[in-house]
Amino acid sequence: MDLALLTPAASADATHATPLPGTLLITGSVLRPLALSLDALRAYPAVTSAPFDLRCYTTQRFIRAVEPYRGVLLTDLLGAAGLRCEAHGDFKRMVFMAIGHDGYAVPFTWHELFNSPVGQQAMVAYECGGAPLGEADGAPLLFSGADLVPAPRHLKRLARIDARVLAP
């Protein structure tokens, strides 16, 4: 498995760094910051999404039909990294920012991922329609299959998932 654990110093640097294309960093309030290649993602248990129509959120304009994605659940990746909770109940105030190489960012809350159907369909995909996705195809990509309109949290060229605990 092509997986690297980041040292605490490297993790702090990685929170603001842009990884190489095709590599996903898991940083922030985690016990084991990770740098995952596409091959490392393929080593996790896989899930498959249903096909869907990608539509613009604001206009509902049809963009394209998307074949089923195959990938790893975001919750499995966060579980591998481990959530760092320094105070009782910190996990309930956690947010996870998914950030693309172009700076596009979308949030998830702990409650969405671990206490609702969203978490059962939020994935980091590495395959579409039975064919591997490469860096040129935008892999790894984030897809939230339980969203009513998938376009806002359909993020190509996913660079990093940054876990943060919000102050009360």
**pLDDT, tens only, 27-67:** 999 999 999 999 999 999 999 999 999 888 889 899 889 99
Residue 30: closest CA among 3, 2, 6: 6
For residue 6, the model assigns a pLDDT of: 43
pLDDT band at 148 (very low <50, low <70, confident <90, very high): confident
DSSP H or E stretch at residue 41? helix 38-42
Beta carbons of 78 and 124 less than 8 angstroms apart: no
**pLDDT, tens only, 89-129:** 999 999 999 999 999 999 999 999 999 999 999 999 999 99
Quote the domain boundaries for residue 128.
Answer: 3-165
d(CA 109, CA 164): 10
What CATH number did the domain enclosing 157 receive?
3.90.420.10
Global confidence as pTM: 0.87
For residue 58, the model assigns a pLDDT of: 87
Total tally of structural domains belonging to the chain = 1
Question: How large is the average pLDDT for residues 10-16?
Answer: 47
d(CA 142, CA 105): 11
